[in-house]
Amino acid sequence: MKVQQNTITNTKTNSATKDTTENWSIDSSENIYRVNRWGDGYFGIGEHGSISVTPRYDQPDLSINLQEVVDEIAAEGIDFPVVIRFHDILRSQVERLNRTFRKTIEEADYEGRYFGVFPVKVNQMREVIEEIVSAGKRFDYGLEAGSKPELIAALAYNTNKNSLTILNGYKDEEYLKLALLGQKINRKTIIVIEKFSELTSLISLSKSLDIKPLIGLRVKMMVKGRGKWENSSGERAKFGLSIAEILNAIDLLDQEGLKDTIKLLHFHIGSQLTDIRAIKEAVQESSLIYTQLVKQGVPLEYVDVGGGLAVDYDGSQSTNDSSCNYNLEEYIADIIYGFKQSCDLESVPHPHIVSESGRAMTAHHSCVVTKIIGEIQPSGKLYNTRKETGEHIIVANIREIEDNLSVDNFQESYNDVTQLKEQAMQAFKLSVLNLDELAKIETIYWRILNQVGQLLQNEDFVPEELKEIPEMLSSQYLANFSVFQSAADSWAIDQVLPIVPISRLNEKPTKLCSLVDITCDSDGKIDKFIGDDTVAQHIPLHTLKNSEDYYIGIFLTGAYQDVMGDMHNLFGRLNEVHIVSYDDDPKDFYIEEVVKGSSVKNVLSTMQYTPEIMAQIVKKEIDKQIQRGKINPREGVNWIDFYENCLDGYTYLK
């Protein structure tokens, strides 16, 4: 397989790897990992060569050394891997969104307000919801629910009477009744009609309960988004009403005396919108629909522009699936000025704007930190290749190639050794070569490839047929975590998540690697990394030291990753550490809370095992062996204690 054009030998990182260890700089690491570009002001590389965290956008001088956070976690005896949450980043993102909308509305002389809502589905963790509701209280920032359990949570936690609770998703009678309960307790719960049959059910229920609802209509617009979720809109979209259904819904509500309950027009064209042009087109179409409906006497007050505000995961500022070609200010300006222009042209009131920006609110606040616990090299453990009298000609020939390898003939040597390796395999199949000879040939082959790989790093031009060598020589670093639990999108939809060593960023990374997890699944790996023009299959990392732990961070995991992970191989939720910045502390932070991850007992219970019964069964089996004299009583007690301690233990490696 050919190496992608952005691997270490032939991309921007190539120039970095030509730097010697002596002249390596933090800027060299920035060129590889792009921390400043995806970090959005929250993450960078400090002078100490470790990742630095600036959790408050309004306090740029308050900086946390992530290595010091890791050291304190380890000193507290908290097992890795861990999820580290910076709740100050969460608060900062909520404030930035609301303040930017307010600033743009004021500058544009826009007559409506901004009433944002956070979609609970993006991160349903209680701590996250509490922090967002707290940070958004002064901005009347609410919640969005898309299911009955999410609505139940929203009714309990969105206690601000001025904020909105937007209700999306398909609805049954119980869902609608819960929504009307919100009205009873003086909450602004807006029921967004996704399909026409929901409307007839709502009318019947609201009349039987004598509760007047607040209704939103979701329009199935023609404009389509950009990126992985572009099919969320258009004629084949899963949710929403056609224009004809919108007009029929308005007529039905008018006939039932409920036309005055229509308060919101909603649309959504996809998550992670990579191209600002899609947003411009959506604003244009939706603003025209809004103005026409208002002119027809529909008492709309709000327009919900849905989600889609993207996160630049790869730092490329492009229309790549893991990036976007706009920033927060541009996104908001296009919405506000777009609606203002359409409304002014048609002389209709400016609507209040609602957005459901979940990914952008939560992605940065959370990261997974895990330890690299080993290296899997392609050549494995090398074999003794001492020369022996009468060795086979293939062994002699490959030995001669190694002895004569030089900068002048490495391409020819590679071609020759590749051919000899193929000949050796055929000879072994015909019993011409024995296992000892085959092992020597394999060992010399890999030594030659390593030497050729070293020579290539100093070449300005790499022949096409040699571009596969870095991939062949790349290592797999074994990381103590589960991709399926902690980086689900990386596995499921090829989402690129930023991965960076926590420290040693002032040193040259000399290993080209992919990452494998500790599951027994061949899909348990990450081989999609930040590249240059395309996605890289490998990432440069540092050589492991026996005397020093090597930690990596998987960043921007706060959106969806916290709640979408499964328990493949029964690896459960990670330990969580909540970090709060504190300027008066010598390290500028303290650990506010530790949330223990899943124990083995927890995950087994989830899968309908009964750990107490399992322990009894094992105890009985040990007792049998004690009675037979195969285990002495003291040893038996120790084994029983060991089994029970494992049930109470962490699911990850220690």
Indicate whether 172 pLDDT > 70: yes
Q: Each residue of 442-470: pLDDT tens digit?
A: 999 999 998 998 888 888 888 888 888 88
Rounded to an integer, what distance in angstroms lies between the CA atom of residue 406 and that of residue 52? 43
Portion of the chain with pLDDT greater than 70, in percent: 94
Q: What pLDDT does 5 receive?
A: 32
- 3-state helix vs strand vs coil in the chain, percent to 5: 45, 15, 40
Host domain of residue 614: 601-648
The answer to whether 319 touches 372, Cβ cutoff 8 Å, is no
| 388 lies in some domain | no
Measuring CA to CA, which residue among 145, 136, 134, 141 is closest to residue 175?
A: 145
Q: What pLDDT does 10 receive?
A: 36
Indicate whether 269 pLDDT > 50: yes
- The pTM of the full predicted model, rounded to 2 decimals, is 0.90
Do 236 and 124 lie in a common domain? yes
The answer to whether 276 touches 225, Cβ cutoff 8 Å, is no
Kindly list the distances between the CA atom of residue 651 and the CA atoms of 343, 525, 549, 553, 591, in Å, as whole numbers in the listed order: 57, 18, 20, 20, 23
Do 303 and 273 lie in a common domain? yes
What string of DSSP letters covers 142-171?
EEEE-SHHHHHHHHHH---TTSEEEE-S--
| 272 lies in some domain | yes
Kindly list the distances between the CA atom of residue 370 and the CA atoms of 80, 301, 480, 653, in Å, as whole numbers in the listed order: 6, 48, 6, 11
Question: Reduced to 3 states, what is the DSSP secondary structure of residue 369?
Answer: strand
- The mean per-residue pLDDT over the stretch 333-356 comes to 97
Do 261 and 115 lie in a common domain? yes
Rounded to an integer, what distance in angstroms lies between the CA atom of residue 615 and that of residue 632? 19
Do 499 and 431 lie in a common domain? no
Q: What pLDDT does 400 receive?
A: 93
Question: Reduced to 3 states, what is the DSSP secondary structure of residue 266?
Answer: strand
Picking from 404, 438, 462, the residue at the C-terminal end of a domain is 462
Q: What angle do CA 365, 564, 122 make, to 5 degrees?
A: 50
Rounded to an integer, what distance in angstroms lies between the CA atom of residue 224 and that of residue 230? 6
Rounded to an integer, what distance in angstroms lies between the CA atom of residue 247 and that of residue 261? 15
Rounded to an integer, what distance in angstroms lies between the CA atom of residue 350 and that of residue 113? 9
The answer to whether 325 touches 314, Cβ cutoff 8 Å, is no
- The mean per-residue pLDDT over the stretch 112-122 comes to 97
- The mean per-residue pLDDT over the stretch 375-399 comes to 87
Rounded to an integer, what distance in angstroms lies between the CA atom of residue 54 and that of residue 59? 8
| 200 lies in some domain | yes
Q: State the chain's mean pLDDT as an integer.
A: 91
Do 65 and 118 lie in a common domain? no
Indicate whether 232 pLDDT > 80: no
Kindly list the distances between the CA atom of residue 461 and the CA atoms of 15, 466, 625, in Å, as whole numbers in the listed order: 12, 10, 68
- The mean per-residue pLDDT over the stretch 610-621 comes to 96
Question: What's the CATH code of the domain at 403?
Answer: 1.20.58.930
Range in 25-29, 205-209, 250-254, 531-535 with the lowest mean pLDDT: 531-535
What string of DSSP letters covers 224-259?
---STTGGGSSTT-SS-B-HHHHHHHHHHHHHTT-G
Q: Each residue of 57-68: pLDDT tens digit?
A: 889 899 999 999
- The mean per-residue pLDDT over the stretch 490-504 comes to 92
Do 612 and 555 lie in a common domain? no
Indicate whether 507 pLDDT > 70: yes
Do 581 and 484 lie in a common domain? yes
Indicate whether 530 pLDDT > 50: yes
- The mean per-residue pLDDT over the stretch 339-366 comes to 97
| 6 lies in some domain | no
Indicate whether 21 pLDDT > 90: no
The answer to whether 371 touches 80, Cβ cutoff 8 Å, is yes
Question: What's the CATH code of the domain at 118?
Answer: 3.20.20.10
Q: Each residue of 581-601: pLDDT tens digit?
A: 998 899 999 999 999 999 999
Other CB atoms within a 10 A radius of the CB of residue 291 amount to: 21
Do 181 and 214 lie in a common domain? yes
**Count of domains forming the chain:** 4
Do 479 and 519 lie in a common domain? yes
Q: Which two tokens stand for residue 313?
A: 């995961």
Rounded to an integer, what distance in angstroms lies between the CA atom of residue 187 and that of residue 165? 8
Greatest mean pLDDT among 93-102, 385-394, 402-411, 526-535: 93-102
Angle between helices 611-627 and 633-648 (to 10 degrees): 170
Q: What angle do CA 71, 75, 81 make, to 5 degrees?
A: 65
Rounded to an integer, what distance in angstroms lies between the CA atom of residue 539 and that of residue 340? 46
Indicate whether 229 pLDDT > 70: no
Picking from 462, 491, 506, the residue at the C-terminal end of a domain is 462
| 387 lies in some domain | no
Q: What pLDDT does 591 receive?
A: 96
Confidence of residue 15 (pLDDT cuts 50, 70, 90): very low
Indicate whether 353 pLDDT > 90: yes
Confidence of residue 377 (pLDDT cuts 50, 70, 90): confident
Q: What pLDDT does 224 receive?
A: 62
Confidence of residue 566 (pLDDT cuts 50, 70, 90): confident
Kindly list the distances between the CA atom of residue 158 and the CA atoms of 120, 145, 150, 361, in Å, as whole numbers in the listed order: 11, 11, 11, 17
Q: Evaluate the CA torsion angle 352, 355, 356, 357 in order and state its sign.
A: negative
- The mean per-residue pLDDT over the stretch 30-34 comes to 95
Question: What's the CATH code of the domain at 572?
Answer: 2.40.37.10
Confidence of residue 228 (pLDDT cuts 50, 70, 90): low
Do 308 and 290 lie in a common domain? yes
Range in 106-120, 148-162, 266-280, 372-386 with the lowest mean pLDDT: 372-386
Do 234 and 183 lie in a common domain? yes
Confidence of residue 20 (pLDDT cuts 50, 70, 90): low
Confidence of residue 17 (pLDDT cuts 50, 70, 90): very low
| 121 lies in some domain | yes
The answer to whether 526 touches 514, Cβ cutoff 8 Å, is yes
Indicate whether 223 pLDDT > 80: no
| 79 lies in some domain | yes
Other CB atoms within a 10 A radius of the CB of residue 19 amount to: 14
The answer to whether 279 touches 306, Cβ cutoff 8 Å, is no
Do 107 and 192 lie in a common domain? yes
Q: Name 375's bridge partners.
A: 477
Q: What pLDDT does 567 receive?
A: 84
| 201 lies in some domain | yes
Indicate whether 410 pLDDT > 50: yes
Confidence of residue 625 (pLDDT cuts 50, 70, 90): very high
- The mean per-residue pLDDT over the stretch 548-568 comes to 90
Q: What pLDDT does 378 receive?
A: 83
